[in-house]
Amino acid sequence: DAGVIQSPRHEVTEMGQEVTLRCKPISGHNSLFWYRQTMMRGLELLIYFNNNVPIDDSGMPEDRFSAKMPNASFSTLKIQPSEPRDSAVYFCASRTSGGATGELFFGEGSRLTVL
Amino acid sequence: QQQVKQSPQSLIVQKGGIPIINCAYENTAFDYFPWYQQFPGKGPALLIAIRPDVSEKKEGRFTISFNKSAKQFSLHIMDSQPGDSATYFCAASIPNAGGTSYGKLTFGQGTILTVHP
């Protein structure tokens, strides 16, 4: 089975540009999470969805960040306009919220560099 | 309330040693405590997890010790190997509304473990 698929794996952009990160969760998983990882702040939860509905977006840094989940097999995280401090690795993860375990399956991440 | 504090930030041991990583939390609503392992360039992956109704769980060389009254839990790696060199994260979650399913997962800051041959 394919795991969580993220794209792009690497993105280099200039300050002010729009960035869109994409995620395809594991089929059958009904919870999807977006995390940001930096050396300074570790793994921060940005937002999570249950059954395509945003449940908690309190970790979204500011209005420049937005996330959508139009269907069970696709989610996007958008940054507009991007700033150098947004440089980080962004992870998408999915799981079954009512499963026997709470195991979260992570993608390999999207490394974003904003110049 | 939602924080999970992890220590140490980094740890170096010799092969065969027993590294111990500690985590502490405040929110008594947390009811699920996993540990994740992350190799460079990869996403974190579940290593082992525990519920607060048990004090210890062992899977292979990895053991979680849980102290509910102290609100602390720790990961022990027996007979550590160079291949265990990775970043380890503790985490905790509270159930979703209604208490029937897993909810938001909060991670500790991570511990970079190096096991020398």
The residues near A62 (Cβ < 8 Å, ≥ 6 apart) are none
Look at residue B2 and tell me whether its pLDDT is greater than 80. Answer: no
Tell me, what's the pLDDT at A74?
Answer: 96
Residues B24/B91, Cβ–Cβ less than 8 Å: no
Closest CB to A98 among B42, B43, B101: B101
CA B83 to chain centre: 18
Residue B99 reports pLDDT greater than 70: no
Read off the pLDDT of residues B22-54 as tens digits, 9 standing for 90 and up. Answer: 999 999 889 899 999 999 999 999 999 998 889
Q: Which of A115, A102, A109 is nearest to B38 (CA)?
A: A109
Q: Tell me how many degrees the CA angle B113-A91-A58 measures, rounded to the nearest 5.
A: 105
pLDDT tens sequence across B75-84? 999 999 999 9
Cross-chain residue pair B43–A93, CB shorter than 8 Å: yes
- Give B-chain residues touching A26 at CB under 8 angstroms: none
- pLDDT confidence of B98, banded at 50, 70, 90? low
Which of B46, B59, B100 is the mutation pick for testing A, counting most A CBs within 10 A? B46
Better-scored residue on pLDDT, B105 or B114:
B114
Mean pLDDT of the residues in chain B: 92
Please give the pLDDT value at position A61. Answer: 86
Q: What is the mean pLDDT of each run of 10 residues along chain A (115 residues)?
A: 92 97 95 93 92 91 94 96 96 83 91 97
pLDDT for B10 beyond 80: yes
Cite the beta strand spans of chain B per DSSP E. Answer: 4-7, 10-14, 20-25, 33-38, 45-50, 56-59, 62-67, 72-77, 86-95, 102-107, 111-116
Closest Cα in chain B to A42? B109
Local structure of residue B96 (DSSP, 8 states): P
Which residues of chain B neighbour A101 with C-beta distances below 8 Å? 46, 49
Amino acid residing at A2: A
Q: Is the pLDDT of residue B100 over 70?
A: no
According to the model, what pLDDT value does residue A62 have? 84
